[in-house]
Chain A
Amino acid sequence: MDVNDIQEEIISEFSLLDSDMEMTVFYIMELGQKLPVMNDALKTEENVVKGCQSKVWLTANLDDDKINFSADSNTAITKGLVSLLIRIFNGQSPEAILNANLYFMQKIGMERFIGTQRSNGFAAMIKQMKLYALAFKTKLEVKS
């Protein structure tokens, strides 16, 4: 599935919650709980995403020209939000990530439950993921 297919999938899942704020928050937390465990050795200061109110660690690997991210957070809701980004970007090419237009947040009304400060943090996460994509893209170009 490409980036937009996954975004559409997420939008349709969230629409089932019928804008019930409590259900939505619980659902996001559940998504976070399902995120694969990040190795503690990777939770270094170097891997902290700057600009997040809560602590978020993010790393990335390149497997067969596709990127796979690993992340964790000290807060459950943030972890759930990160898991949505990972779901969209994992297994995509650096090119696809760099060109991705993320519109799902607006469609699911995310700004209503993450507020301005967390929105900034969310933008910082996306930026960090795209920076990884750019680094891997450059690496691949050098190789070829």
Chain B
Amino acid sequence: MTTTSPALSTALDVEKIRKEFPILHQTVNGRDLVYFDNAATSQKPLVVINALTEYYKGYNANIHRGIHTLAEKATKAFEQTRLTAKDYINAKSEQEIIFTRGVTESINLVASSYGRTFIKEGDEIIVSELEHHSNIVPWQFVVEEKNATLKVIPVTDRGELDLDAYRKLLSPKTKIVSVNHASNSLGTVNPIKEIIRLAHEVGAVVFIDGAQAGAHLDIDVQDLDCDFYTVSAHKMYGPTGAGFLYGKKELLEKMPPYQGGGEMIKEVTFKKTTYNDLPHKFEAGTPNIADVVAFRYAMNFITETGRAAMAAHEHNLLEYATERVSRLKGVSLVGTAPEKVSVLSFTVDGIHPFDIGQMLDARGIAVRTGHHCTQPLMDRYGIEGTVRASFAVYNTKKEIDQLVEGLERVINFMK
């Protein structure tokens, strides 16, 4: 984010953008809603909401095997999202885009299919201290089953990955490295290109969890040369329950299916079943058609608004919030890496994050509190949790002023 010019944010008409998001225009506990929980899920523009409604009103049908007009229309719309996703992350082929329920399912798919097939006893899988539980637990399943080992890249006090320690962890035993592009708890943007390059030197494959990057950062999987990459639609102004997994074709080809069912087969007999081609081999059963269809509109919304302009605006918000919140009495920022997405995590001396979250909610401000599904990271900092404010394109400096005012109220009360 810091690579973009803050001047770009002036190109965004935020008030106009806010009009696209009906949910923002409501009061919560008697005050205008301030939604700062975007790292958990972002709100949806009308264009996405309308796409869902239009799908169900106009062309809901099961896809790929229907001969009738509606099935054809639904299939086209569904596959159009695959093409959009391919372009969004610059994949070589739409066959490398597998639709999933989102990041968690994508990681489970790769851990189960690739991990269980290619990990052997004594192998090592590397994750980092910054990971969300969803990028830890599926790999734990694999190492436990295969008698392999999970290694962890430590994080510095500022919230950056310790690359020297990472280099020392790498060895010919390393078979998979799985890290996030950006941290959900601290906002740190990780140097994934370097992480991937180093992993490839020892012959490991690299999985990138892009949950916090999809809506904020440029993603070019060919330039990164990552082996797997995943995003969730709901963190990218899209619907819940949809996302995609990118995988290099040669890897996906040699992986066994994740689930059995319809769509993923070529031919079924009781003697032998042959599997469908990519990407369908990994898409058993009726997918989440409506949400996948609407996901295209979310990606288009980001592209049309302009990723660089959005990033610049969010960066301005982050800088402003960082400066204002850090000056408050008793506040300690958690995660001060120079490269961050728009996530501000902090603690306040003597006040539990839950209480702060509840107090802010009483003023209509939605933040996230707790360990953010990153308990090992919280343990690393010796804290129970943080208060996390995360910003999106529709947020404003005025809303940050309201957050600061709310925090001042709580801090003064609890003194």
Contact = CB atoms under 8 A, between A and B. Distances in A.
Contact of A29 (B29, B355, B363, B384): B355
Nearest to A26: B413
Interface stretch (A42-50, A57-65, A70-78, A88-96): A70-78
Interface in B342-361: 351-352, 354-355, 358-359, 361
Interface stretch (A16-24, A100-108, A132-140): A16-24
B30 interface: yes
Contacts of A22: 29, 359, 362-363, 409
A29 B409 CA distance: 13
Main secondary structure of the interface of A (DSSP, over half): helix
Given A22-B29, A22-B359, A25-B358, A54 B413 contact: no
A24 B363 CA distance: 11
A74 B29 CA distance: 25
B7 interface: no
A49 to B, nearest CB: 15
B268 interface: no
Interface string B16-39: 000000000000011000000000
Interface string A122-138: 00000000000000000
Contact of A53 (B354, B355, B362, B413): B354
Name, among A29, A54, A74, A75, the residue most crowded by chain B CB atoms within 10 Å (CB to CB): A75
Nearest to B353: A75
Contacts of B30: 20-21
Of A20, A74, A76, most B-chain CB atoms within 10 Å:
A76
B406 to A, nearest CB: 9
A110 B363 CA distance: 16
Contacts of A53: 354
Contacts of B358: 25, 77, 113
Nearest to B409: A22
A9 to B, nearest CB: 23
Given A21-B30, A26-B413, A76-B414, A113 B352 contact: no
A54 B354 CA distance: 8
Interface string B225-241: 00000000000000000
A56 to B, nearest CB: 12
Contacts of B414: 29, 76
Given A21-B30, A22-B29, A29-B413, A76 B362 contact: no
Contacts of A78: 354
Nearest to B355: A76
Contacts of A26: 359, 413
A38 to B, nearest CB: 16
Interface in B395-410: 409
A76 B29 contact: no
Nearest to B384: A74
B103 to A, nearest CB: 23
Nearest to A32: B355
Contacts of A24: 362
B362 A25 contact: yes
A20 B409 CA distance: 15
Contact of A113 (B351, B362, B363): B362
Contacts of B355: 29, 75-77
The residue in B30, B362, B384 that gathers the most chain A C-beta atoms within 10 A of its C-beta is B362
Interface string B365-380: 0000000000000000
A77 B355 CA distance: 6
Contacts of A54: 352, 354
Contacts of A113: 358, 361-362
Nearest to B359: A25
A125 B44 CA distance: 38
A74 B414 CA distance: 13
Contacts of A77: 354-355, 358
Interface in B302-317: none
Interface string B161-187: 000000000000000000000000000
Contacts of B359: 22, 25-26
A39 to B, nearest CB: 20
Nearest to B351: A76
B364 to A, nearest CB: 9
A21 B29 contact: yes
A73 B12 CA distance: 46
15 contacts: A21-B30, A21-B361, A21-B362, A22-B363, A25-B359, A29-B413, A29-B414, A54-B354, A74-B352, A75-B355, A76-B352, A76-B355, A77-B354, A113-B358, A113-B361
Interface of A: 20-22, 24-26, 29, 53-54, 74-78, 113
Given A21-B362, A29-B413, A74-B352, 18 more contacts: A20-B30, A21-B363, A22-B29, A22-B359, A24-B362, A25-B359, A25-B362, A26-B359, A26-B413, A29-B355, A54-B352, A54-B354, A75-B355, A76-B355, A77-B354, A77-B358, A78-B354, A113-B358
- Please provide the 6 A-B residue pairs with the shortest distance between their CB atoms, ordered closest to farther: A21-B29, A21-B362, A75-B352, A22-B362, A76-B355, A25-B362
